[in-house]
Amino acid sequence: MIAIVNLGIGNFSNVKKAVKGIITNDPDKITKADKVILPGVGSFGYASKQLSEIKEALSEIISQDKPFLGICLGMQLLFEESEEGKGKGIGLLKGKVVKFKNVRIPHIGWNQVHVVIDNIPLFKGIKNNSFFYFVHSYYVQPKNQEIVKGFTEYCEFEFPSVVAKGTIFGVQFHPEKSSDNGLKLLNNFRRL
């Protein structure tokens, strides 16, 4: 069973349709899941408050090496903190979330993802430099660059758009809005 975490801000129905999971914010259901997806749209500060009751459950899932996918704001919440509001992320990945500077925001629309490692299971059967759909004004700055598995160029600026560490995966784009490539990625996650 895949638990799709409901923080009150996300595109749950399309994710659920793609992976056949359950939408929940119940810590017991989250810890009993085989895999977890944390989708998110909106403010880091607000989402951080919503995390407080389920942070322990999410950490338990990770400690059991169960696959975990953060989508957009869900990816950002994997990190420690953000320039976007007060509050702490889950802190599973070291680093912070920062706002784009000197470029038009939000970064919205279709853009390429340049995968830097060939064997990322999420990208099995997806060509490198494929297009995915983005909507965001902030991006992650990991302390350890080794977790960056893909990046995207925006206005002559490169930012991490895919991160992975063990069974933890994060994507800055919205696979649920990214047509065939996005559905393939979610299907790959479902099969992990």
Mean pLDDT by 10 residues, the chain (192 residues): 88 85 94 94 88 89 94 96 91 96 95 89 95 97 96 95 96 96 96 94
Write down the catalytic residue from 81, 84, 136, 176.
176
Sheet strands side by side (includes 168-171): 22-24, 2-5, 35-40, 68-72, 168-171, 157-165, 148-154, 107-115, 130-136
pLDDT for 13 equals 82
Decide if 155 is catalytic.
Answer: no
Q: Are 121 and 106 in contact (CB under 8 A)?
A: no
Active site residue 72: yes
In angstroms, the CA 138 to CA 159 distance is 10
The model's pTM is: 0.95
Q: Catalytic: which of 81, 107, 136, 174?
A: 174
The helix, strand and coil proportions of the chain, stated in percent and rounded to the nearest 5, come to 30, 35, 35
Catalytic residue among 72, 81, 84, 107: 72
Active site residue 176: yes
- H or E element: which one contains 58? helix 55-63
pLDDT of the residue at 31: 95
Q: Exposed, middle or buried by CB within 10 Å (0-12, 13-18, 19+), for 54?
A: buried
Q: Domain-by-domain residue ranges, the chain?
A: 2-190
Tell me which CATH homologous superfamily contains domain 2-190: Class I glutamine amidotransferase (GATase) domain (3.40.50.880)
